[in-house]
């Protein structure tokens, strides 16, 4: 428990920045109009594709088991995010097609 508290005290500025970024991201995303959702989702998919490549590179250079586990977790979560993004984008684009 002391190690966790020490970590928080040592990195309190970085933790504050992450928490502030989360709140800012929620505020920005909640004000995006529906018409812009599909292009933004496509951009996010491209960014997560880069994250997946980076995670694969990290896994290739991992020297410890912990780094390998984190790299694998990053690949799995990034892949889930990309696949989910494509499913949502496809569903959004279906809404704009003319019905026969």
Taking the chain (100 residues) in consecutive chunks of 10 residues, what is each chunk's mean pLDDT? 87 92 88 75 79 87 89 89 82 76
E strand or H helix that includes residue 14: helix 12-30
Instruction: Please state the domain count of the chain.
Output: 2
Are 61 and 84 in a shared domain? yes
Instruction: Give the pLDDT confidence score for residue 13 in this predicted structure.
Output: 92
Buried b (16+ CB within 10 A) or exposed e, 34-56: eeeebeebeeebeebeebbeebe
The span from the CA of 11 to the CA of 16, in Å, is: 9
What is the predicted pLDDT for the residue at 20? 95
pLDDT given for residue 76 in this prediction: 92
Domain around 99: 34-100
Map tokens 């504050």 to a residue: 16
The candidate with the shortest Cα–Cα distance to 32, out of 22, 40, 24, is 40
The reply to whether 5 and 40 lie within a common domain is no
């Amino acid at each position: 428990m002391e190690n966790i508290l020490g970590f928080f005290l040592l990195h309190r500025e970085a933790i504050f920045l992450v928490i502030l970024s989360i709140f800012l991201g929620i505020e920005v995303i909640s004000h995006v109009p529906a018409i812009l959702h599909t292009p933004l989702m496509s951009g996010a998919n491209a960014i997560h594709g880069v994250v997946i490549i980076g995670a694969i590179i990290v896994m290739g250079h991992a020297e410890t088991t912990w780094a390998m586990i984190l790299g694998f977790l990053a690949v799995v979560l990034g892949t889930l995010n990309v696949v989910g993004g494509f499913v949502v984008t496809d569903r959004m684009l279906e809404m704009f097609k003319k019905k026969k």
